[in-house]
């Protein structure tokens, strides 16, 4: 599909398909259109042309909350927690609305997810006050609590130190093993290349490479996109 903003075409003629249970890495230099792509899939933007099909059904005319309830959840690059609400409540909202549970069941589910993510001690803290790596885990917890089958992870590793990155990767592997499908936008190469089964590379809104991580890493066009002509 194609999506532009005024004179700028953020994503141009991009096509790809995703299998259930797959981990897809989405990389590319800044401004290559990755976040815009996520926003289109999640329903925040409508594409200028093209389609988004989820399990065979078109979702381009659905609003973000409908798409979430259908099973696609997105984290935000700029994390937006419900700052003045407790961590527990943050996840609770997702369980209540994304997964459509009753209050009792939603509370149980929230407790389960917080435990899974290692956040159970923090339930009572205001979400705005916890440190960055934990806020990222909160973002992920919210996405999980919606019951989504497909998770769009937008730079969840940004700002983390190597230990934290490793912990995150462990969690993501556990998540995938529960049957979820992941698309990861990342700049932290080691992370995304290590965990993805397929990788797509974007540059200036267009797909310039697609394949297994090892193939893509050696692709001269990809190297050129990141480092410039001299290194290709």
Partner 1 sequence: MSRQWLKVHLVWLAFLAAGIILSSVPLFVPEGYRLRLLALVFMWVALSGCWNLMSGYTGYIDFGPVAYFGVGSYSTAILMLKGGVPFLPSIFLSGLICAVLSLAIGLPTLRLQGAYFAIATFAVAEALKQGILEGDRLIGLEFFGGAHGLTLPPPPSEAYFYYLMLFFMGLVVGLTALLEKSKFGYGLRAIREAEQAAELSGVPTLKIKIKAYVLSSSLIGCLGGVEAYWLTYIIPDDVFNVLRTIQMVIMTLLGGMGTVLGPVIGASFLTLVSEYLGAKFVYDYLIFVGAVIIVVILLLPRGIMGTLWQGQRWNR
**76: contact with partner 1 by CB under 8 A:** yes
**193: contact with partner 1 by CB under 8 A:** no
Instruction: Please calculate the CA angle 102-105-110 and round it to the nearest 5 degrees.
Output: 115
**135: contact with partner 1 by CB under 8 A:** no
**65: contact with partner 1 by CB under 8 A:** yes
Per CB under 8 A, the segment of 117-125, 161-169, 186-194, 204-212 that binds partner 1 is 117-125
**34: contact with partner 1 by CB under 8 A:** no
Work out which of 53, 63, 174, 221 binds partner 1, going by CB under 8 A. Answer: 63
Neighbouring C-alpha atoms within 13 Å toward the C-beta of 169: 18
**100: contact with partner 1 by CB under 8 A:** yes
Per CB under 8 A, the segment of 66-74, 159-167, 169-177, 189-197 that binds partner 1 is 66-74
**84: contact with partner 1 by CB under 8 A:** yes
**103: contact with partner 1 by CB under 8 A:** yes
In this structure, the chain runs to a length of: 232
CB pairs under 8 A, 24+ apart, for 88-96? 88/114, 88/123, 88/124, 89/127, 90/127, 90/138, 90/141, 90/142, 91/138, 91/141, 91/142, 91/145, 92/145, 93/142, 94/141, 94/142, 94/143, 94/144, 94/145, 94/146, 95/145, 95/146, 95/147
Per CB under 8 A, the segment of 3-11, 73-81, 163-171, 195-203 that binds partner 1 is 73-81
Min. distance of Cβ 62 from partner 1 in angstroms? 11
| Contact between 151 and 181 (Cβ < 8 Å) | yes
Per CB under 8 A, the segment of 5-13, 96-104, 161-169, 193-201 that binds partner 1 is 96-104
Q: In angstroms, rounded to a whole number, what is the distance separating the alpha carbons of residues 82 and 204?
A: 33
Q: What is the DSSP string of 75-91?
A: --SS----TTSBHHHHH
Binding residues (CB under 8 A) for partner 1: these are: 42, 44, 63-66, 68-69, 73-74, 76, 80-86, 88-89, 92-94, 96-100, 103, 106, 111, 121, 123-125, 142, 145-146
């Amino acid at each position: 599909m194609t999506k532009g903003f005024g004179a700028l075409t953020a994503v141009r003629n991009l096509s790809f398909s995703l299998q259930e249970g797959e981990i897809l890495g989405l990389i590319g230099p800044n401004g290559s259109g990755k976040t815009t792509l996520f926003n289109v899939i999640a329903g925040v933007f409508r594409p200028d042309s093209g389609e988004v099909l989820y399990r065979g059904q078109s979702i381009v005319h659905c609003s973000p909350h409908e798409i979430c309830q259908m099973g696609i959840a997105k984290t935000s690059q700029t994390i937006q927690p419900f700052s003045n609400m407790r961590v527990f409540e943050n996840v609770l909202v997702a369980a209540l609305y994304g997964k459509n549970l009753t209050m009792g069941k939603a509370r149980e589910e929230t407790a389960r997810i917080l435990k899974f993510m290692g956040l159970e001690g923090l339930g009572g803290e205001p979400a705005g006050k916890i440190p960055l790596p934990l806020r990222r885990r909160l973002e992920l917890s919210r996405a999980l609590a919606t019951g989504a089958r497909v998770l769009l992870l937008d730079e969840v590793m940004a700002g983390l130190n190597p230990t934290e990155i490793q912990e995150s990767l462990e969690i993501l592997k556990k998540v995938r093993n529960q049957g979820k499908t992941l698309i990861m936008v990342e700049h932290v190469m080691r992370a995304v290349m290590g965990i993805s089964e397929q990788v797509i590379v974007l540059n200036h809104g267009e797909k310039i490479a697609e394949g297994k991580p090892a193939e893509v890493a050696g692709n001269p066009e990809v190297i050129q996109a990141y480092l410039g002509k001299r290194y290709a």
